[in-house]
């Protein structure tokens, strides 16, 4: 453990999307600078960063210079190539650590890890060929979902199997990538817990949010989620269990299904999470600042919910209504500065303050 970062120190962020953008703005509140590393030109995070490196994750010279220029490295997405991480790791401190990345980069490793902690997951099987898929379907049953083990997000790299007859076509959609078959979970609602762990092991969890997905993309998160006190407590303890097992430093998102048999973990994300955006307008310290505090070695802040909030994502053309949303009362608008509107693209979100909480 090193000393906390002080004013003027620089946090390196891998990835320059909206999460990096909001992390940068949060870092500025603590007097810290950011340096964004992003292959794409003009990344959203670049608008609010002290420095931007535009280079690929294969560019060893750029990675080395980046590592040398920062006081700590963090990231806004988990699918960072291993070779890049190895190089960065040799020159700089990476928070959250490599173990969290190793586990969350692979759906099979992640589910195995979660089960090892005694947590419930959907039934799953490692799939490498058609006979294996057919055997797994016989056990897990249909409907089910076949997913690539790595590099999936927002419903990408997934094929639904309504019946066992869909096996061959679903496998073809994986294009030869290692895959995992996941059984369906019957749930009453989806929630997520955004949790943080500091360098001294202290843990702070935000109130669970209730998520609604549309077309595989998060649409709304409502806080508080409709949960019993026992469910709320289970959700927080479970997140703390994961954080401690990983000796984690930073913010982690845990997606959960609420079922009659208890909470089932859908997936974990070793970073700030879309379902935690409500914290920007519901708490004194939001998930972005909490993450920056943790990776900078600062004490965690107060994430108590002071207001009820509904977060709604602005996907694709929904952003064209931004000026009208801007007029709504008790509404905070957050746009990502993306100039090209594409279907399915996250362009911004709004946080509607529903009432004073507690």
The CA distance from 274 to 267, in Å, is: 13
Nearer Cβ to a second copy, position 50 or 91? Answer: 50
Instruction: With CA atoms as reference, report the closest residue to 192 among 93, 263, 94, 296.
Output: 263
If one asks whether residue 25 binds a second copy (CB under 8 A), the answer comes out as yes
Q: What is the DSSP string of 221-275?
A: EEES-S--HHHHHHHHHHHHHHHHHTT--EEEEEEEEEETTEEEEEEEESS--GG
Q: Which of residues 263-282 bind a second copy (CB under 8 A)?
A: 281
If one asks whether residue 145 binds a second copy (CB under 8 A), the answer comes out as no
Q: Which of 47, 134, 173, 267 binds a second copy (CB under 8 A)?
A: 47
Binding-site size for a second copy (CB under 8 A) equals 53
Q: Which of residues 283-342 bind a second copy (CB under 8 A)?
A: 284-285, 293, 298-299, 301-302, 304, 306-307, 319, 322-323, 326-339
Q: How far is the CB of 63 from a second copy (least distance, A)?
A: 23
Mark residues 227-266: x for contact with a second copy by CB under 8 A, - for none: ----------------------------------------
Give the pairing type, strands 51-54 and 33-38: parallel
Nearer Cβ to a second copy, position 149 or 338? Answer: 338
Return the exposure string of 22-51: e unless at least 16 CB atoms fall within 10 Å of the residue's CB, then b.
Answer: bbbbbbbebebbbbbbbeeeebbbbebbbe
- DSSP state at residue 190: E
Residues in contact with 330: Cβ distance below 8 Å, sequence separation at least 6, in sequence order: 352, 353, 354
Instruction: Tell whether residue 107 is among the known ligand binding residues.
Output: yes
Q: How far is the CB of 329 from a second copy (least distance, A)?
A: 5
Q: Which of 28, 79, 112, 158 binds a second copy (CB under 8 A)?
A: 28
If one asks whether residue 29 binds a second copy (CB under 8 A), the answer comes out as yes
Please say whether the beta carbons of 198 and 301 come within 8 A: no
Tell me if residue 70 falls in helix, strand or coil. Answer: coil
Q: Which of 32, 144, 167, 227 binds a second copy (CB under 8 A)?
A: 32
If one asks whether residue 48 binds a second copy (CB under 8 A), the answer comes out as yes
Give the pairing type, strands 189-197 and 250-259: antiparallel
The secondary element (H helix, E strand) that includes residue 66 is: helix 60-69
Instruction: Tell whether residue 68 is among the known ligand binding residues.
Output: no
Site residues for a second copy per CB under 8 A: 4, 6-8, 21, 24-25, 28-34, 46-50, 281, 284-285, 293, 298-299, 301-302, 304, 306-307, 319, 322-323, 326-339, 348, 351, 353, 356-358
Residues annotated within the binding site are 107, 147, 152-158, 182-185, 190, 213, 266-267
């Amino acid at each position: 453990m090193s000393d906390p970062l002080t004013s003027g120190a620089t946090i390196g962020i891998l990835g320059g999307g909206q999460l990096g953008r909001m992390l940068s703005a949060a870092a500025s509140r603590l007097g810290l600078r950011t340096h964004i590393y992003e292959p794409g030109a003009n990344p959203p995070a670049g608008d609010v960063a002290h420095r931007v490196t535009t280079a690929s994750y294969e560019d060893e010279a750029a990675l080395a210079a980046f590592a040398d220029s920062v006081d700590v490295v963090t990231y806004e997405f988990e699918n960072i190539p291993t070779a890049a991480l190895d190089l960065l790791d040799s020159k700089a401190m990476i928070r959250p650590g490599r173990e969290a990345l190793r586990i969350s980069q692979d759906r099979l490793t992640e589910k195995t890890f979660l089960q090892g902690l005694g947590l419930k997951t959907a039934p799953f099987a490692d799939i490498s060929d058609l006979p294996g898929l057919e055997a797994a379907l016989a056990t897990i049953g249909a409907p089910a979902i076949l997913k690539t083990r790595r590099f999936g997000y927002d419903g990408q790299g997934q094929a639904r199997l309504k019946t066992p007859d869909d096996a061959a076509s679903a496998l073809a959609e994986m294009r030869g990538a290692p895959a995992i078959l996941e059984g369906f979970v019957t749930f009453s609602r989806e929630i997520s817990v955004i949790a943080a762990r500091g360098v001294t092991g202290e843990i702070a969890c935000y109130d669970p949010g209730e998520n609604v997905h549309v077309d595989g993309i998060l649409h709304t998160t409502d806080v508080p989620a409709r949960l019993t006190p026992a469910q709320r407590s289970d959700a927080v303890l479970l997140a703390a269990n994961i954080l401690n097992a990983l000796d984690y430093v930073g913010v982690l998102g845990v997606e959960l299904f609420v079922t009659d048999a208890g909470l089932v973990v859908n997936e974990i994300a070793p970073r700030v999470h879309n379902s935690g955006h409500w914290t920007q307008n519901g708490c004194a310290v939001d998930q972005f600042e909490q993450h920056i505090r943790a990776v900078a070695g600062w004490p965690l802040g107060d994430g108590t919910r002071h207001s009820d909030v509904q977060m709604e994502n602005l996907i694709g053309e929904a952003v064209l209504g931004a000026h009208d949303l801007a007029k709504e009362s008790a509404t905070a608008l957050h746009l990502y500065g993306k100039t090209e509107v594409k279907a399915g693209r996250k362009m911004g979100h709004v946080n509607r303050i529903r009432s004073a909480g507690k």
